[in-house]
Every structure is written in structure tokens, then in C-alpha cells.
Amino acid sequence: MKSSIYPRIGTVAAALAMTLTTASAPAGAPVQAAGPAKVVRAICCRCVDGSQQSASINTRTAPWTVALGNGAAQAVSNVSNPAWGAAAPAGWVGPATPSTGTYIYKLTIVVPKCVIGGKVSLKGRFGADNSGQLSIGGNVVASTAGGNLGFQVPNFASFSVPVGAGTHTIEVRVTNPHGPTGMILQGALLTDCPRSPELGAAARSSDDAVACRCEADKASV
């Protein structure tokens, strides 16, 4: 008897996928995640076609929160300053009412156990006024350079780190000894999908359906 399992796998994997979008807002307006979601989920692979799935963790897009020290977390606000460098398409965010001290920005990410497994990683760069340190699950992975000039593009810090299944917290600690403050992060939660050698040596297919159909045909026994 022949059976085709991959169409069903594609349906299950697609159901696990989630993307977050947030409408643009003026500086000073709190940023809220679209719908009830307060996390960013890695996108599961639909096919074994060697594709890469991407979920944004950009500031002004993802549901970042900020707290002053051990204070209560709140939704970040869009902020701006002519001295701050750019990292499009992300934008600068910060507390609604800035003050001196250490601000803690957090974003929760979820890597589900997908039907078709892929290699998941976090990649991007960030800047801070005045300086910042990024950690994932309590492990420091990147820090801005330039002392109190972490808001200048040459002093932005890049990061690239693998992430396993489960729930993780991205934390950026920003030190602000004086003046305005903010944080900008441009990056993504990436899923690199496996590629079946039986699809041939050609470049990655631009049509997911073709690769999925190939796998479904292979699975028919």
C-alpha cells in the first residue's frame, strides 16, 4: 500500500510557524506585539529543501520589554537621537522616561521540536547608549565597544550563536551613566533546513512545493 506522509508533515510544521509584525509608531510610543503573542518562535522547516526560515527579533518589530534594574518590565517605546547610529530595518527603543542606571531589555524566544528538524541560530548586531552587553540564557555572547560610545555604528556588537529546543531569554543590559538612553538590535532567529541529497546537486529550489513533492514521492512505499 502506498501512503504519502510529507503533505501531512508540511501541514503540521506550517501550523507551528509564527511570524510577528508590528505597525510603525512614532518616537515615544510603546511598541506592542501583534495579537496576543509575547514571544518570537523559530519557524519549522516545511521541506527538506535546504531553505532558511527567518523570524525577526528586531527592535520595533519583536515584543521587547525594558526594566530599570530590578523594577517592573514594561513595553519599550520608540526613541531617537541624532547621535545614534542606524541598523535598518530595526529602530532604537528605550524606556518611556529615561534616567541614569542599568536598563535590562528582554525578549523571549521559543524553539519548538519540529517534525522536520533544522539547525537554529540567533544572528545579528546591536548598539546601546551608553554601552550594552547581550546574553542568552545567562551566557554573555557580545558586548558593545568604545566605552560609553556604544551607540556609534563602529562600536556595535555582532553575535551568532546556536540555539537548542526550548524557551530562551535574550537579555541586553544597557548602562546609562548620564543623558539619553536606548538600544537597537537588528537580527533574526534562523532555521537552516536540511536538504535531501536525492533532490540533486542543483541550487536550492525556488519552489518549495517541488521539493516537498519530491520528498512525498520518495516516502511512498
pLDDT exceeds 60 at position 46 = yes
Phi-psi region of 31 (alpha: psi -120 to 50; beta: other; left: phi over 0): beta
pLDDT exceeds 60 at position 6 = no
Listed by start position, the domains of the chain span 6-219
What's the pLDDT score for residue 204? Answer: 45
State how far the Cα of 52 lies from the Cα of 74, in Å rounded to an integer. 32
Q: Report residue 199's pLDDT band, with 50, 70 and 90 as the boundaries.
A: low
pTM of the model as a whole: 0.76
Give a three-class secondary structure readout of 117-148: CCEEEEEEEEEEECEEEEEECCEEEEECCCCC
Q: What percent of the chain has pLDDT over 70?
A: 72
Q: What percent of the chain has pLDDT over 90?
A: 70
Tell me what the mean pLDDT of segment 129-150 comes to. Answer: 97
pLDDT exceeds 50 at position 17 = no
Select the more confidently predicted residue: 9 or 135. Answer: 135
